[in-house]
Amino acid sequence: MNRHRTRPRWLPGGDRRERAAAGFDLRRRLMVVATFLGLGSVGLLARALDLQVIHHEFYQQQGDARFLREIPIATSRGMITDRNGEPLAISSPVESVWGNPKELLKVPARLPELAEALGMPQDELASRLSARADKEFVYLKRRINPDEAAKILALEIPGVSSQREYRRFYPQGEALAHVLGFTNIDDRGQEGLELAFDDWLRGTAGAKRVIRDRRGRTVENVDLVRAAQPGRDLAISIDRRIQYLTHRELRNAINETGASSGSAVVLDVATGEVLAMANLPTFNPNAVGTSPRDAHRNRAVTDLLEPGSTMKPLTVAAGLEAGVITPATLFNTSPGWIPNGRYRTTDTHNYGVLDTTGIIRKSSNVGAAMVAKRLSDAQFDAFLRRFGYGKVTGSGFPGEAAGLFPTPDRWSGTSKQTMSYGYGLNATPLQIATAYAALGNGGLLHQPSFVKGQHNPPRRVLDPKIANEVLHMMQTVTEKGGTATQAAILGYHVAGKTGTSRKASAGGYSRRYIGYFAGLVPVDNPRFAMVVAVNDPDPSRKGYYGGLVSAPVFRTVMEGALRLMDVAPDNLGEWMAVQEAAEAKRRKAEGRALPAPLAEPVPAAAGRALP
């Protein structure tokens, strides 16, 4: 039996050669493994070097793009106040709910719940999300109450979040809508002073970096990129109290006369500042979408109207300046009309012989035409242009119309005559008010302004002596025998002029009218100029003459404005006489004796505030 059996090479105890071969094979295998491990380590190190050093910025951006966001910081728009600091336009914080369509479309089962919370049909929500399926942002509901937004967020629907915004609010509502205008959903001015001063009022949004989770919720504020800059406040020339009076009385006049529209403007004579400007129809600037677009128009600066007889004081002033007439010049207006080409210039009555003051007091078209005939075309044209007719007033209000005042080379043989009493040219109520303020300011014309304290240097348009003469001629209009006794104000001398112009239509003039009153008060030292225009009044109600439909608006507004501004009366004698008569009547009714009369008249300073 052979005791030396052959052993397997892998068993110990084999011969040396076999053991050496087995060891070499093991080492080779270990080296292969080590080589692979080394190469893997080198690859990992290279990858780490690539990620952390070579392409660090790229991968950081990629990571940030998924979790780090730069979001805007909303800022408030500047407040608009009236001349006394009362707020007229303010910005209130609101919330806007937005969603990530990519996230929301992954949870279709939550959409009915979300639609109900948003107050919109489910199909509308689904359609909006589907249309922006490749986007990460869509507004779901903008500028809502923060409490309402909190209820929507409390549902914890993936992809729904909110952000702070601001909404404009107008405390005065309809009364100041045309002056202030409004902003759009992005808080940018669209009309009125909101548009004119948008750059001043609008702030600069800030920005910050935040980390958001996959649901869009902010989990950490990382960095302030840019601080928000709030808008600057604006103090305008409007007096809220006078504005309210103007709006209220204009509305009453429209309702009483059945007119289709109306405008009223109040200016500070000494500065040209606009104290009030009202128009009807109007709209609610807090709910712009509920009113027709036509109601947004600021008729006082955009609508062109034939000024009618409000032109006559300027025609007379032009004649006085040219030296072709004097206050004592007489005009024979019989038989109440004169030829005007193929037509006639007529008066409502045959006033016979009138002096220059009588032309204004009786509002004689014939008399105004006779004055204009004594002026050359160049004289008449230059005079009216000095007063601002045919160009914008310079107020800076968006959309202001320049008016229509043709140059003499475009006049026909009848143009100057018809323009002398307010036909054949067009102007805005603001232009008329600006011209009248110049008469009250001693012949100095200010550009009208909507900003408190913004006084442009005035320019001389008329000699102060002539301005004063015309002013006192206009005073007779509101006194006995004038065409606007309803504009008279107890205790004050009022200078004014009525105007009633027929509205142009195809082929001539219709039987529809515009009733004007333009006036200044008090005459001795004019403080206010006001123009009222009532468009298309119903003749079957109060009539259509300016002295009937517009003069009462002037009287009521000016009575309030004079008291509010503490303007001393310049007709104390009349006021005292009326007060004494009223007291006597009251005492007689009570059966009491009258007190002894005052030994001396009340000094002017004692009458600064009327009861």
pLDDT of 608: 34
Would you place residue 65 in the very low, low, confident or very high pLDDT band (cuts 50, 70, 90)? low
| Mean pLDDT score of the chain | 86
- For 141, residues 6+ apart whose C-beta sits below 8 A from its C-beta are 96, 97, 118, 119, 120, 149, 152
**Least reliable range by pLDDT among 283-297, 494-508, 593-607:** 593-607
pLDDT of 532: 98
What residues are paired with 138 via a beta bridge?
99
The neighbour count for residue 217, using CB atoms within 10 Å, is: 14
Residue that wins the pLDDT comparison between 6 and 296:
296
pLDDT of 221: 60
**Helices 240-257 & 551-564 angle (0-180, nearest 10):** 160
pLDDT of 216: 57
What is the rounded CA–CA span in Å between residue 479 and residue 406? 35
CATH T-level topology, domain 70-235: Penicillin-binding protein 2a (Domain 2) (3.90.1310)
pLDDT in tens, 461-507: 999 999 999 999 999 999 988 999 999 999 999 999 999 988 876 66
User: Which residue do the tokens 């206050």 mark?
Assistant: 327
What residues are paired with 567 via a beta bridge?
none
Would you place residue 609 in the very low, low, confident or very high pLDDT band (cuts 50, 70, 90)? very low
Question: What are the extents of the domains in the chain?
Answer: 70-235, 240-570, 573-607
- Inform me whether the pLDDT recorded for 346 exceeds 70: yes
* Catalytic residue (one of 76, 309, 395, 550): 309
Is residue 309 part of the annotated active site? The answer reads yes
8 A C-beta contact, residue 558 and residue 610: no
Q: What is the mean pLDDT of residues 410-439?
A: 95
Tell me the whole-structure pTM to 2 decimals. 0.80
Most confident of 9-18, 139-148, 239-248, 539-548: 239-248
- Inform me whether the pLDDT recorded for 524 exceeds 70: yes
- Inform me whether the pLDDT recorded for 236 exceeds 50: yes
What is the rounded CA–CA span in Å between residue 467 and residue 499? 20
Would you place residue 600 in the very low, low, confident or very high pLDDT band (cuts 50, 70, 90)? very low
- Inform me whether the pLDDT recorded for 75 exceeds 90: no
pLDDT of 68: 63
- For 520, residues 6+ apart whose C-beta sits below 8 A from its C-beta are 269, 436, 437, 439, 440, 471, 474, 494, 495, 496, 526, 528, 529, 530
Q: What is the mean pLDDT of residues 127-153?
A: 87
Can you read off the two tokens belonging to residue 266? 């109040």
8 A C-beta contact, residue 183 and residue 191: no
- Inform me whether the pLDDT recorded for 214 exceeds 60: no
User: Which residue do the tokens 């009326």 mark?
Assistant: 578
pLDDT in tens, 21-53: 666 777 777 787 778 787 777 777 777 776 676
Q: Provide the percentage of residues in the chain whose pLDDT is more than 70.
A: 85
Amino acid letter, residue 81: T
What residues are paired with 8 via a beta bridge?
none
pLDDT of 610: 31
pLDDT of 577: 79
**Least reliable range by pLDDT among 65-74, 104-113, 189-198, 441-450:** 65-74
Amino acid letter, residue 522: P
pLDDT of 217: 59
Residue that wins the pLDDT comparison between 556 and 596:
556
Would you place residue 69 in the very low, low, confident or very high pLDDT band (cuts 50, 70, 90)? low
- Inform me whether the pLDDT recorded for 594 exceeds 60: no
C-alpha R_g of the chain: 41
- Inform me whether the pLDDT recorded for 558 exceeds 80: yes
What is the rounded CA–CA span in Å between residue 196 and residue 398? 6
> Would the CATH topology of 70-235 be identical to that of 240-570?
no
Nearest residue to 387 (alpha-carbon basis) of 330, 329, 433? 433
Residue that wins the pLDDT comparison between 104 and 210:
104
pLDDT of 611: 29
Number of residues in the chain: 611
Would you place residue 142 in the very low, low, confident or very high pLDDT band (cuts 50, 70, 90)? confident
What is the rounded CA–CA span in Å between residue 438 and residue 453? 18
Would you place residue 106 in the very low, low, confident or very high pLDDT band (cuts 50, 70, 90)? confident
CATH T-level topology, domain 240-570: Beta-lactamase (3.40.710)
pLDDT of 328: 95
Nearest residue to 332 (alpha-carbon basis) of 314, 311, 355? 355
What is the rounded CA–CA span in Å between residue 283 and residue 274? 20
Beta 218-226 vs 234-235: how paired, if at all?
unpaired
